[in-house]
Structure 1
Amino acid sequence: MINTDTLEITPEILSLIAGIDEFKGAWRALGTLAPERLSALRRVATIESIGSSTRIEGSRLSDRDVQRLLANLEIRLFETRDEQEVAGYAEVMETVFESWRDIAVTENHIKQLHRDLLRHSSKDERHRGAYKTSMNSVAAFDETGAQIGIVFETASPFDTPRLMEELLDWFNRTTEEKSLHPLLAIGIFIVVFSEIHPFQDGNGRLSRVLTTLLLLRSGYAYVLFSSLESVIEQSKEGYYLALRQTQGTIRTDQPEWEPWLLFFLKALRQQMVRLRTRVEREKLMMGEMSELAARIIELVQEHGRLSIGDAVKLTGANRNTLKQHFRALVSEGHLKLHGQGRGAWYSRA
């Protein structure tokens, strides 16, 4: 059974949830871009998600490679395993984006998503959409590809059906009863799913697909327009460390949920910040503001504070030109000046 009695809702966890939920509530106002601009944001997020999620598992395809591949999905012939994985991930993501309201969190739906995820992979033909039949413990490898040890033991093939049934029962009951905040329930579902590792292959990719599905079903509609997978890729070491710290305790009397939940919630916050920054830049670009001014706003949003020297390094623009833009942005109420002279810096107003 899933034991959440040891789950402590710390002030940090509460603060992260509050910030994410505030953005969720404000998304309707933030998302008042023209339909074509929202579509563009969604296309970029989709490419980033597919590229990042497959690279986390070892793919070598860049986002540009992914974009080219997606433009030719109708060819249905993919020469390399990387291409096969990207094609499968793209099709499953499209299914989730279009039909998330109809995809209940059931064993059959999860198996169907797994089957579709590996649709183009000839290597995985025998175990598409079926639980594992042999152990698939997560191993560590050296630079030559030789196995140097087991990172953690996953569930046995014998125990997998029972553990998956328990997980699904727990999640659906918790969701129906609203006994736990949705973000916490989703986080726990994902880390336990990953600990079970129910399929022979594709568990990491599927866990990230399921994360998007569960967030959409819980009302976090903005996740269509910003890539959580991209955030995770940029924090890959922290991602695996947090997973392992919690996974190793799940079957004990004292599960430690906090390491994974903190990582998960911080990743969701970063996803939210990226989207807010992009939406604000889009709105600025639609007005009379120049592209350079919009870029300054974006950099201040990303870094929290920015000096003219920082802006020179990050944009390559002329220092005097930047000074004029900063003065204009302050006078228009977009930025706030702190200090003076060489120590001056700017924040959002």
Structure 2
Amino acid sequence: MFSPTFTITPSVATALMAIEGDRQAIMELPINVEVLAGLRHTARLAATHYSTQIEGNRLTQAQVAEALHGAHFPGRERDEAEVRNYHRALEYVESLATAEGPIDELQLRRVHGLVQDGKAAPSPYRPGQNVIRDAATGRIVYMPPEAHDVPALMGDLFKWLNRCLSSRELPIPIVAAITHYQYATIHPYYDGNGRTARLLTTLVLHRAGYGLKGIYSLDEHYARNLHAYYAALTVGPSHNCYMGRAEADITGFVNYFCQSMADALGAVRARAADVQDRTPGRDDSALLRRLDPRRRRLLEFFRDRGTATTTEMAAYLSISPRTMSALARKWVDDGFLEIHDPSRKARSYRLSPSYDYLINR
């Protein structure tokens, strides 16, 4: 059933070239650890605010930041819970970004569980039909697939996605765009589909090397022009999924997504360069460029902890303890880690002096 078509138009090709140029430039920016942590924090806050705002959340960005630190706003309890849940889901997605193997359908059901209930329990797909209505007029604007078709459609989506990530036959931004479109098309839950679709897109980009240290978010670009976002997603000759949407030409949404991503990367490239220029201190870029995404994440972990066991690091990175033990041995040899406590039962590690200096100077 999933067989949309698209064309790589000149505007899409231009956006893809801009994405690659900014991606490379951002990866080479001389960003030190403090600046990187600040930019990542800002991006997480923006993603949480704008992705929930798209769905009607009434908290301002400043209030979102306060709510994440425990503040309460009378009459806004549901909004508070929504932003806290989304932030937990985003942190979980970022932990999955460094996991091994294909992107798992069960993992995304856990993401939805966090979005809806704040718990990493896999959400069951909707048992019945739902419709999307225009908030102002009440008219039906989209009727998703029937409930009995959802499991097979989701299975097909994840098979297609992982095949694309493995083969790299399509540019990754286009894979992310189609994944977003198809998840929204299936609409596997009664609620939370938009937030989960955007988180899935984030995971796809991170897994394929387009996470860019976690310092940008596409959600702000969607939220600033919701009409364009929804218009791009409205594809096909009918509001009924079975009447043309599955085979529709989705060039418009691919174009919209790639343009949004190019705009987001261009903005964050300028912001990161500006912040780095205004931040005193040495250039840490050479050391940071030597680190893969897992070790970059561990810099923040060790900044808060000082020392850690392989079990603790494995839990933080969402990998198996056995895999973490092998990595720890390799990273000691590479000069990233040092053994803090050599005992077999309580063996722990700390950062080597060079990397410890990055986070504690």
Is the TM value for this pair above 0.5?
yes
Give me the whole-angstrom Cα distance separating, in 2, the residues matched to 1:223 and 1:237: 29
Q: Quick one: which of 112, 135, 140 aligns to 2:134?
A: 140
Give me the whole-angstrom Cα distance separating, in 2, the residues matched to 1:46 and 1:89: 10
Instruction: Give aligned-pair identity as a percent.
Output: 26
- 1:211 equivalent to 2:210? Answer no
1:343 maps to what in 2? Answer: none
Quote the offset at 1:119 in angstroms. Answer: 2.1
1:101 maps to what in 2? Answer: 98
Instruction: Read off the aligned partner of 2:95 and give its amino acid letter.
Output: E
Give me the whole-angstrom Cα distance separating, in 2, the residues matched to 1:201 and 1:131: 10
Contact 1:195–1:247 at 8 Å: present in 2 too?
no
TM-score (norm 2): 0.70
The SS at the match of 2:147 is coil
Contact 2:164–2:175 at 8 Å: present in 1 too?
yes
Quote the offset at 1:197 in angstroms. Answer: 0.3
Give me the whole-angstrom Cα distance separating, in 1, the residues matched to 2:62 and 2:185: 32
- 1:38 equivalent to 2:31? Answer no
Where does structure 2 lack aligned partners over 5 or more consecutive residues?
281-361
- 1:86 equivalent to 2:79? Answer no
| 1:168/1:99 CA distance change after superposition, 3 Å | closer
The 4+ residue runs of structure 1 with deviation greater than 6 A are none
- 1:25 equivalent to 2:18? Answer no
- How many matched pairs? 275
Give me the whole-angstrom Cα distance separating, in 2, the residues matched to 1:204 and 1:254: 21
Quote the offset at 1:59 in angstroms. Answer: 0.5
More deviation, 221-230/205-214 = 221-230
Quote the offset at 1:89 in angstroms. Answer: 0.4
- 1:163 equivalent to 2:146? Answer no
- Asked which structure has the greater RCO (Cα within 8 Å, sep 6+), the reply is 2
TM-score (norm 1): 0.73
The SS at the match of 1:102 is coil
Give me the whole-angstrom Cα distance separating, in 1, the residues matched to 2:161 and 2:113: 22
Contact 2:35–2:276 at 8 Å: present in 1 too?
no
1:268 maps to what in 2? Answer: 261
Contact 2:111–2:122 at 8 Å: present in 1 too?
no
Quote the offset at 1:174 in angstroms. Answer: 2.4
Please say which structure displays the higher CA radius of gyration: 1
Q: How does 1:246-325 map to 2 (within 5 A)?
A: 252=244, 254-286=247-279
Quote the offset at 1:231 in angstroms. Answer: 1.2
* Cα displacement string for residues 171-194 of structure 1 (whole angstroms, at most 9, x for unaligned residues): 222222222221111111110110
- 1:3 equivalent to 2:3? Answer yes
2:339 maps to what in 1? Answer: none
Quote the offset at 1:215 in angstroms. Answer: 0.5
Quote the offset at 1:26 in angstroms. Answer: 2.3
2:169 maps to what in 1? Answer: 179
Give me the whole-angstrom Cα distance separating, in 2, the residues matched to 1:148 and 1:47: 32
Instruction: Read off the aligned partner of 1:3 and give its amino acid letter.
Output: S
2:356 maps to what in 1? Answer: none
Quote the offset at 1:128 in angstroms. Answer: 6.4
2:344 maps to what in 1? Answer: none
Instruction: Read off the aligned partner of 2:132 and give its amino acid letter.
Output: V
Contact 1:191–1:247 at 8 Å: present in 2 too?
no
The SS at the match of 1:110 is helix
